[in-house]
Structure 1
Amino acid sequence: MGEIQELNFEKTGVEEDEERVIPQPKNKKRWVSTVVYTLFVLVGQSSATLLGRLYYTEGGNSVLVAALLETVGFPILIPFAIYFSSRNHLSKNNPPISNQPSDLLIKSFVYAILGLFQAATAVLYSIGLQNLPVSTFSLINSTQLGFNAVFAFFFNAQKFTPLILNALVLVTVSSALLIFQDDTTGENPNGKSKTGRFVVGFSCTLVASALYSLMLSMTQLFFQKVLKRETFSTVLKMIVYQSMVATFVVTVPLFTRGEWSSLRSEMETFETGKVTYVAVLAMIGLAWQVYAIGTVGLVFEVSSLFSNVIGAVCLPIVPIMAAIFFQEKMNGIKVISTLLAVWGFVSYVYQHYLDSCKKTSGGGGGEVETVLRESENFIKQEYRI
C-alpha cells in the first residue's frame, strides 16, 4: 500500500513539474507585443489616411510627395534599430548573424524587392486617395484580406477554412457594392470628371491592395526562410532598409519630373497656411512609420494574414472619422459595405482565435503526455509492474 501511495506521489510530482514546462511567460510577452503592434497599426493607418485626405483637401496636389511621406520617415527608426541590435548581440540566447557574402547578397536582393513593392503601393495608394472619398478608399482597401489569403495560401501554407472563405466572400461583396453607389452626391474631390476619377481611384487602390498583400506574404516568407531571427531589431532593420530603397525610387521621379520645384508654391497656396502644411506633412510621415512598425511587427509575431486583418479594423473607424471631419455622406451602400467588411473581419479573427487555442492545447498536452508516458515506463521497469 505504501508503495502504491509513493508511486502516486511520484506521478503527481511529475504532473506538477510538467505544469511548469509550459512557457506561459513567453506566451504572455508575445500577446503583449501583439497588442502593442495592433495599436500601432490602428493609430498609424487611420491617422495617415485622414491626414492624407486633409493634404489633398487643403490644396496639396502632388501624388509623389504623398507617396514619399509613406517611406521618408525611416531615419527616426535608425537609433532604435542600433539600440535593440546592440542588446541582442549581448544576449546569449540569440545566435550570431551570418555575414557570409552570399547571405548578404540574398538579404540585399530581398530588401530591394520589398522596397520596390513598397514604392509602387505608395504611389498607387496616393493616386487612389487623391481621386476617392476617404471612406470609399478605406472600404476598397478591405480587399487586402482576400488578396492576402490567396497569397498566404501559396507562400505561407495558409489553409482555407469555412470561416476564411466566408470572410473572403464578404469583403469581396462589400467592395463590389461600392461600384453601384450614387456618383452624383458631390463627394469626389475637386469636382472634375467624377466617373473617370472614381474609375482611376478604384483601380489604383485595388491594384495597390493586391501588391501590398503580396508584399506582406513575401515579408513573412523572408522572416522564415532567410532571416531566421525573431528579434525586434530585425523588424526595425527590415523597415529601414526597405524604406530606404522605396524612398530612393520615389524621389528620383520627383526631381526628374520637376514636381520638387512646385512644392514652395503649393505650400504658399495651402488654405490653412504654411505652418499647417509643414505640420501635416510631418505628421503623415510619422504616422506611416508607426504603421510600418505595427504591420511588420505583426507579421513577425503572428503572420501576414493576421497583420492584414488588423489593418481591416480601421474599416469602421476611417469612414466615421471622415464623416465627422470631411462631411462625407455615409449612404446606404456604404453602410452595408462597412457592415459586410466588419463581418468578414470578425470571421478572420475568430478563425485565428481557434487556431491559437488549438496550438496551445495541442502543444502543451503533447509534452505532458510524453513525460507521463516515459515516467510510467520507468516505474513499470523499476518495480516490475
Structure 2
Amino acid sequence: MAHAHEIQPQIRGSPGHEESGGGDDREWPEPATRGPNRRGIRWWVLVLVDMLMLLCGEAMAPLLTRLYFNSGGGSMWMATLAQSAGWPLLLVPLLLTPAAAAAVAAEEPQPAAAGKVAAVCVGLGLLIGFENLMYSYAMLYLPVSTFSLVAATQLAFSAVTSRLINARRLTALVLNSVVVLTFSAALLAMGSSDSDGGGAGASGSKKRALGFVMTLSAAAVHALILSLFEATFEKVIKASTLRWVLTVEISTNAVATAVAAAALLASGQWRAIPGEAAAFEHGAAAYVATLAGVAVAWEAASLGTVRLIARASSLFANVTGTLDVPLVPVLAVAMFGDRMTGIKVVAMLMAVWGFLSYVYQHYLDDRRAAKRKGRSQAQA
C-alpha cells in the first residue's frame, strides 16, 4: 500500500540517495531513506492545508451545483464549464512563484520534453472534461446527499488503478475498504426513491438510474485521472515543485474549460444563458455568484488533490476526499431538505468504515516502514 513517506522520495528524491533502503527487499520498494526530512512538522502542515482545500472544495461544490439546478439553472454545459473555469485564479500564484523557488529543485531530474508534457496535459484535460460532464448529469438526477455517498466509491476504483498503474500493494484492509464502499453504493442504489428530493431533472426511475450510472462512471474516471496524475509527476515530469503542480493544474483545467466552452457554443445552450440568469430564483447576481462559487470550490478541491498527489499519492488524495462522505449529506439535509433515511445512515456508516480501514492500513505501513528503517540504520 502506498503511503506518504514511501512515495515522497520516489517523486522528489535523486537516484543517489536510495542505497540505504535495502534494494533487495521488493515488498517495500520505496523505503523512507529521507523520510524524517520530508515528514517533519512543515510537511504535515502543508499536507493539512492541502487536505482542507480538498475537503472544503468537495463539500461546497456539489451543494452549490445543486443550488444552481434547484433555483432555475438548467444548462448542462454551463454546469460542466463551471467545474474547471476557476483555473485563471492560479495564474497569480504561478507568476509569483519563481522557477527556482525550491532549493530541492536542483536535485530533481530534469522534466521530459515540453512536447511530451503538453501532450499528457491535453490528454488529462480531455479526461477531466468528460468526468465533469458526467458529474453534472449525476448532480442533476440525484439528491446531493445520495450523489456524495455514491461518489465515495472512487476510493475503491482508486485502489484498483493505483495497483495497475502505480504498482501499489493491495492488502486485506484495502480490499475490505473496496468491498465496503462498493456495498455502500449498492445499498443506496436499491434504496433510492422519488422522495429523496433531487433537482428538477431527478424525477423518474430511468433518470435516477442514469444518475447512479453517471456517478459510478465519473468515480471510476476520477480514480483513473488521479493515478495518471501520480504517474505524470513520477515518470514524465519527474518533479513535484509548487511551480510544476500549478502548471499541470492550470494546463489540464484550461483544456477541460476549452472543451466545455466549445460544447456550450456548439449546442446552442449559450443563447439561453441570459434568460436563465434573469429567471434565476435569487436574481441574476446570485446566478453569477453561484456559478463563480462552483468554479472556485472545484478549483480548490482540484488543486488540493493535485498537491496531495505530488506530496503523497493518488490513493492518499482519494482517501482524504472520502472524509466528505459524512459531511455533505448532513449539509444537504440542512440546506435542501434532503431526507436522511435509515438506508443513507447505514450507507454513510459503511463509507466511514471503509475510510477507517484504509487509514489503519496507512498507520500499519508507517510503523512497518519505521521499523525497517531502524533495522537498516542498526546494520549500518
Which one-letter code corresponds to 1:206 in the other structure? L
TM-score, normalised relative to structure 1 = 0.86
Kindly indicate whether residue 321 of structure 2 is the aligned counterpart of residue 311 of structure 1: yes
Match of 1:251 among 253, 261, 281: 261
Alignment partner, residue 27 of structure 1:
39
CA deviation after TM superposition for structure 1 residue 191, in Å? 6.8
Alignment partner, residue 11 of structure 2:
none
Larger Rg: 1
Using a 3 Å threshold, how does the CA distance of structure 1 residues 185 and 159 change in structure 2: closer, same or farther? same
Does the 8 Å contact 2:55/2:321 carry over to 1?
yes
Deviations 1:168-194 (A, max 9, x none): 110000000012215142523227642
Does the 8 Å contact 2:230/2:310 carry over to 1?
yes
TM-score, normalised relative to structure 2 = 0.87
Alignment partner, residue 121 of structure 1:
131
Does the 8 Å contact 1:64/1:254 carry over to 2?
yes
Farther off after superposition, 318-327 or 347-356? 347-356
Which one-letter code corresponds to 1:26 in the other structure? R
Which one-letter code corresponds to 1:76 in the other structure? L
CA deviation after TM superposition for structure 1 residue 73, in Å? 1.0
Does the 8 Å contact 1:171/1:341 carry over to 2?
yes
Alignment partner, residue 82 of structure 1:
95
Structure 2 Cα separation of the partners of residues 57 and 283 of structure 1: 15
Kindly indicate whether residue 68 of structure 2 is the aligned counterpart of residue 58 of structure 1: no
Kindly indicate whether residue 295 of structure 2 is the aligned counterpart of residue 295 of structure 1: no
Alignment partner, residue 243 of structure 2:
233
Does the 8 Å contact 2:63/2:332 carry over to 1?
yes
Deviations 1:248-296 (A, max 9, x none): 1111110011111211100000001111111111111111111111100
Does the 8 Å contact 2:71/2:281 carry over to 1?
yes
CA deviation after TM superposition for structure 1 residue 92, in Å? 7.0
Secondary structure class of the residue paired with 1:113: helix
Structure 2 Cα separation of the partners of residues 192 and 172 of structure 1: 23
CA deviation after TM superposition for structure 1 residue 118, in Å? 0.4
Kindly indicate whether residue 363 of structure 2 is the aligned counterpart of residue 353 of structure 1: yes
CA deviation after TM superposition for structure 1 residue 24, in Å? 3.6
Structure 2 Cα separation of the partners of residues 128 and 192 of structure 1: 9
Which one-letter code corresponds to 2:296 in the other structure? L
Does the 8 Å contact 1:131/1:201 carry over to 2?
yes
Which one-letter code corresponds to 2:48 in the other structure? V
Match of 1:185 among 170, 185, 195: 195
Kindly indicate whether residue 106 of structure 2 is the aligned counterpart of residue 94 of structure 1: yes
5+ residue gaps, structure 1, are: 1-20, 371-385
Using a 3 Å threshold, how does the CA distance of structure 1 residues 369 and 142 change in structure 2: closer, same or farther? same
Does the 8 Å contact 1:22/1:364 carry over to 2?
no
Kindly indicate whether residue 376 of structure 2 is the aligned counterpart of residue 366 of structure 1: yes
Structure 2 Cα separation of the partners of residues 248 and 77 of structure 1: 16
Alignment partner, residue 332 of structure 1:
342
Kindly indicate whether residue 152 of structure 2 is the aligned counterpart of residue 142 of structure 1: yes
Does the 8 Å contact 2:161/2:224 carry over to 1?
yes
Using a 3 Å threshold, how does the CA distance of structure 1 residues 31 and 182 change in structure 2: closer, same or farther? closer
Does the 8 Å contact 2:110/2:237 carry over to 1?
no
Using a 3 Å threshold, how does the CA distance of structure 1 residues 366 and 168 change in structure 2: closer, same or farther? same
Using a 3 Å threshold, how does the CA distance of structure 1 residues 291 and 92 change in structure 2: closer, same or farther? closer
Using a 3 Å threshold, how does the CA distance of structure 1 residues 315 and 275 change in structure 2: closer, same or farther? same
Does the 8 Å contact 1:267/1:277 carry over to 2?
yes
Secondary structure class of the residue paired with 2:58: helix
Which one-letter code corresponds to 2:309 in the other structure? V
Deviations 1:353-385 (A, max 9, x none): 221232233235423431xxxxxxxxxxxxxxx
Which one-letter code corresponds to 1:190 in the other structure? A
Alignment partner, residue 119 of structure 2:
109
Does the 8 Å contact 2:140/2:200 carry over to 1?
no
Deviations 1:308-332 (A, max 9, x none): 1111110000000000010110111
Secondary structure class of the residue paired with 1:44: helix
Using a 3 Å threshold, how does the CA distance of structure 1 residues 355 and 200 change in structure 2: closer, same or farther? same
Which one-letter code corresponds to 1:155 in the other structure? I
CA deviation after TM superposition for structure 1 residue 32, in Å? 1.6
Alignment partner, residue 58 of structure 2:
45
Deviations 1:227-261 (A, max 9, x none): 11121111111100101111111111100111112
**Taking every aligned residue pair, what percent have the same amino acid on both sides?**
36
CA deviation after TM superposition for structure 1 residue 33, in Å? 1.5
Q: How many residues align?
A: 347
5+ residue gaps, structure 2, are: 1-32
